[in-house]
């Protein structure tokens, strides 16, 4: 069985993209003559093969279509609404298999991507066998963590049992069962969907590694490795298995699982199908478009996220339109759209049982009270109510920590109350203590790191980050917990067009963002080479931008594409020390004289002499009247 791959079936250069008209566009691949339909909407593009799902006929524009959204098959006159990918004649028949339309923000090109094979779970099919009570159970632990018992095997999903996620922004809403860590350490295998810290929890894995460092952990073969930070974390796990997408992994003769990629974020996100004796459990986790929208229908259990609110936008933005009333209206509308989308997704897939999870977090720290009050999320109960109204045949489960679903009982009689076992009445459901100081002390330790004594860390860090050639200038301001500028903190500009560090904004036209970062989180991120999700998703910055445009290239780079190895701060400090010593020699400083009391002009003169006379250390450049160390790093 070969692994699933993402293949480009059609590419349009920027000039061709600009010629696309609003609504329906027919395009042909010149190499193989295959035809495609691209629908250009107000906010996005959608695409599919020009092939009717009924009997393979070609579509043409429907002359009866008044709104420019429908095409008609030339064989039997079936009609497809390309804006929704639904067949409207006959109604309630099929959904069209959609291609992923990826518009490059680098060169303006458009690629249509197709997963091959599109439905790999159909390989080596197994007939569903009769189940006995207790043979398959799902136990909800907390957030996205579920324990699956199938036969005599136990599998855990995304264990986040302790500590914060995204530095200090997310904390567990639900109290895990008291034996959760023991359950985790005794599992036969663990699936971790992606690298976000509410799914890959290093505080949890640190405790696990003390009990069982060789526990088998399975992750998908994403372009950015799920465990890219493992070595830096210091956590000792010795049995991590990276598996290809779309290939069955056999656990025993009855149990197997398959990891699938996300269509929108294939570089980092995955979802999961588990099958036991022909019974399927689909866990889409956080995927925006799991398996590019192609998913199995009629599975026994479907799990998915539901809550929303997993972003700094718009709560952390200010200025311009970002008033409290605008934010409240936007958040309310997004919640409604997400609830409707999840309802329609479940309706289209028709699982026998649906459970919303992976949304049980809270902004518990007192300094994030504003976020907690503003970032209103969907409730699992509301989503399940919406699904029951739309699909009364689907059994819904709103889980509590420790509640158990018995699949055999639920399938035999969905009305059987014993199919779901709730925890005892005196069970603690919600957390009320999070050990804030334990985890914030670790962040605060970064503030006094040696590297931050030298302003040249700024140039070193952003050159390590490797993002440039983009007409964006950012101003970064270090702040306290309440986002007030920190006395003695750094306040600097970065011009990403040429990766320079000016004192004032350039006179040319440019995009601008002001980013206020909590100093403990920012310095922890810089010191350890972590991704900026800790800042953005963790609500540890406040932003304004002019114009009010989302800069995908910038944020995607700092959230997913930073180097896998942290900056070489030891090498940085060694070079700083060599330059300091050279300065002292050239300037004739007495032993112990304060180096950084030297005035800028004196320092600049030293730099020139250093560059002329020293060959055993990296040269130092003086640009625009300020020192800029290590320009080539």
Closest CA to 5 of 274, 225, 275, 292: 292
Task: Answer yes or no: are the C-beta atoms of 89 and 80 closer than 8 Å.
Answer: no
Residue with tokens 């909590």: 518
The pLDDT-based confidence of 94 (bands split at 50, 70, 90) is confident
Outline which parts of the chain fall under CATH 3.60.15.10.
134-436
310: nearest Cα among 105, 165, 446:
165
- CA nearest 204: which of 162, 258, 151, 236? 162
> Which pLDDT score, from 0 to 100, does residue 588 have?
59
So what's the pLDDT on residue 631? 35
The CATH architecture annotation of domain 446-562 reads 2-Layer Sandwich (3.30)
**What average pLDDT does this structure show over 472-491?**
98
The mean-pLDDT minimum among 82-96, 202-216, 323-337 falls in: 82-96
Three-state DSSP at 194 gives: coil
Length of the chain: 633
**Range of lowest pLDDT (181-190, 209-218, 389-398, 592-601):** 592-601
Average pLDDT, the chain: 91
Contact 345, 128 (CB under 8 A): no
pLDDT, mean of residues 493-497: 98
What per-residue confidence (pLDDT) applies to 586?
65
pLDDT at 589 over 60: no
Indicate whether 592 pLDDT > 90. no
Read off the pLDDT band of 604 (50, 70, 90): very low
With a cut of 90, say whether residue 105 has pLDDT above it.
Answer: no
- State pLDDT tens for residues 295-319: 999 999 999 999 999 999 999 999 9
- By mean pLDDT, which of 58-72, 87-101, 384-398, 432-446 is the weakest? 87-101
Place of tokens 């895990």: 176
Give the chain's radius of gyration (CA, Å).
Answer: 27
What's residue 426's pLDDT?
A: 93
At 59-82, the pLDDT tens digits run 999 888 878 899 999 988 899 999
Residue 434, pLDDT above cutoff 90: yes
3-state secondary structure 204-235: HHHHHHHHCCCCCEEEECCCCCCCCCHHHHCC
Residues of the chain with CATH 2.102.10.10: 5-118
Q: Which two tokens stand for residue 86?
A: 């639904």
Percent of the chain with pLDDT over 70: 92
Report the DSSP beta bridge partners of residue 395: 353
Cα dihedral sign, 184-190-191-194: positive
pLDDT given at position 488: 93
Predicted pLDDT at 618: 41
Nearest CA to 227 out of 204, 195, 199, 196 is that of 195
How does pLDDT run across 396-416, given as a tens digit for each residue? 999 999 999 999 999 999 999
Output the six-digit token pair for 493.
């500009």
5-118 classified as CATH 2.102.10.10: yes
Predicted TM-score of the model (pTM)? 0.85
* Short-list 436, 528, 518, 430, CA closest to 482: 518
What's residue 405's pLDDT? 98
CB < 8 Å & 24+ apart, contacts of 365-370:
365/168, 365/169, 365/171, 365/434, 365/436, 367/481, 367/482, 368/169, 368/539, 370/315
Q: What's the pLDDT at 626?
A: 38
H/E stretch holding 24 reads strand 23-28
Residue 277: pLDDT above 90?
A: yes
**Distance between CA atoms of 429 and 588, rounded to whole angstroms?**
68
pLDDT the model gives residue 597 = 39
Q: Does residue 127 register a pLDDT over 90? A: yes
Kindly report each contact of residues 17-21 with a partner whose C-beta sits within 8 Å and lies 24 or more positions away, as own/partner: 17/103, 17/108, 17/109, 17/110, 18/108, 20/45
**Of residues 78 and 628, which shows the higher confidence score?**
78
Closest CA to 162 of 138, 146, 143, 187: 143
- Mean pLDDT over 166-186 rounds to 98
Helix H or strand E segment including 355: strand 353-356
Long-range contacts: 604-610, Cβ < 8 Å, 24+?
610/579, 610/582, 610/583, 610/586
Fold of 134-436: Metallo-beta-lactamase; Chain A (3.60.15)
Q: Are 334 and 310 in contact (CB under 8 A)?
A: no
Task: Let me know if 633 is exposed, middle or buried by CB neighbors in 10 A (0-12, 13-18, 19+).
Answer: middle
- Which is more confident, 247 or 7? 247
Percentage with pLDDT > 90 across the chain: 80
Average pLDDT over residues 228-248: 97
The predicted model gives 547-556 an average pLDDT of 93
Residue 176: pLDDT over 90: yes
3-state secondary structure 545-610: EECCCCCHHHHHHHHHCCCCCCCCHHHHHHHHHHHHHHHHHHHCCCCCCCHHHCCHHHHHHHHHHH
Q: What mean pLDDT comes out for the span 210-238?
A: 97
CA distances from 162 to 178, 207, 601 (A): 12, 9, 52
What tokens appear for 291 in the block?
A: 């398996």
Residue 5 has pLDDT above 70, yes or no: yes
pLDDT, residue 579, reads 83
Quickly state the pLDDT bin for 598 (edges 50, 70, 90).
Answer: very low
- Cβ contacts of 7 within 8 Å, gap of 6 or more: 113, 114, 115, 116
- The answer to whether the CB of 175 falls within 8 A of the CB of 430 is yes
């Amino acid at each position: 069985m070969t692994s699933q791959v993402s293949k480009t079936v059609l590419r349009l250069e920027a000039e061709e993209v600009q010629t696309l008209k609003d609504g329906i566009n027919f395009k042909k691949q010149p190499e193989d003559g295959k035809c495609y339909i691209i629908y250009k909407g107000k906010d996005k593009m959608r695409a599919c093969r020009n092939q009717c799902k009924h009997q393979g006929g070609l579509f043409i524009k429907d002359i009866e279509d008044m709104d420019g959204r429908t095409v008609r098959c030339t064989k039997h006159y079936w009609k497809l609404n390309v804006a929704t990918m639904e067949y409207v004649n006959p109604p309630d028949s099929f959904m069209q298999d959609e291609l992923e339309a990826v518009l490059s923000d680098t060169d303006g090109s458009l690629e249509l991507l197709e997963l091959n094979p599109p439905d790999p779970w159909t390989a080596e099919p197994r007939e569903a066998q009769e189940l006995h009570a207790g043979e398959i159970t799902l136990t909800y632990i907390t957030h996205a963590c579920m324990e699956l018992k199938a036969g005599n095997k136990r599998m855990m999903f995304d264990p986040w049992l302790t500590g914060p996620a995204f530095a200090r922004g997310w904390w567990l809403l639900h109290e895990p069962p008291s034996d959760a860590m023991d359950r985790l350490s005794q599992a036969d295998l663990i699936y971790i969907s992606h690298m976000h810290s509410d799914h890959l929890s290093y505080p949890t894995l640190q405790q696990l590694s003390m009990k069982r460092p060789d526990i088998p952990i399975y992750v998908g073969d994403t372009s950015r490795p799920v465990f890219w930070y493992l070595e830096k974390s210091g956590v000792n796990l010795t049995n991590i298995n990276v598996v290809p997408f779309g290939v069955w992994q056999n656990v025993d003769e009855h149990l197997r699982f398959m990891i699938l990629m996300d269509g929108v974020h294939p570089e980092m996100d995955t979802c999961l199908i588990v099958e036991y004796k022909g019974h399927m459990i689909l866990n889409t986790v956080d995927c925006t478009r799991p398996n590019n929208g192609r998913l199995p229908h009629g599975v026994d259990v479907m799990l998915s996220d539901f809550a929303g609110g997993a972003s700094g936008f718009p709560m952390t933005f200010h200025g311009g339109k970002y008033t409290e009333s605008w934010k409240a209206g936007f958040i309310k509308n997004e919640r409604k759209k997400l609830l409707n989308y999840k309802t329609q997704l479940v309706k289209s897939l028709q699982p026998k049982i649906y459970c919303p999870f992976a949304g049980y977090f809270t902004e518990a720290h007192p300094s994030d009270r504003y976020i907690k009050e503003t970032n209103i999320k969907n409730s699992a109960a509301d989503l399940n109510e919406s699904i029951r109204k739309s699909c009364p045949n689907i059994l819904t489960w709103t889980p509590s920590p420790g509640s158990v679903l018995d699949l055999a009982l639920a399938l035999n009689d969905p009305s059987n109350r014993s199919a779901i076992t709730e925890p005892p009445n005196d069970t603690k459901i919600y957390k009320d203590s999070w050990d804030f100081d334990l985890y914030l002390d670790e962040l605060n330790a970064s503030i006094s790191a040696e590297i931050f004594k030298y302003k040249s860390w700024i140039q070193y860090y952003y050159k390590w980050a490797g993002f440039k050639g983009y007409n964006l200038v950012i101003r970064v301001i270090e702040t306290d917990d309440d986002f007030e500028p920190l006395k003695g903190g750094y306040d600097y500009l970065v011009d990403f067009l040429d990766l320079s560090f000016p004192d004032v904004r350039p006179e040319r036209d440019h995009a601008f963002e002001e980013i206020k970062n909590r100093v403990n989180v920012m310095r922890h991120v810089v010191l350890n080479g972590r991704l900026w999700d800790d800042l953005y998703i963790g609500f540890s910055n406040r932003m304004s931008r002019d114009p009010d445009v989302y800069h995908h290239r910038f944020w995607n780079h700092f959230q997913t594409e930073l180097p896998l190895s942290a900056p070489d701060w030891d090498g940085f400090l060694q070079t700083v020390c060599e330059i300091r010593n050279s300065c002292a020699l050239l300037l004739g400083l007495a032993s112990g004289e304060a180096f950084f009391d030297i005035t800028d002009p004196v320092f600049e003169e030293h730099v020139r002499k250093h560059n002329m006379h020293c060959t055993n250390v990296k040269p130092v450049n003086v640009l625009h009247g300020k020192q800029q160390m290590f320009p080539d790093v």
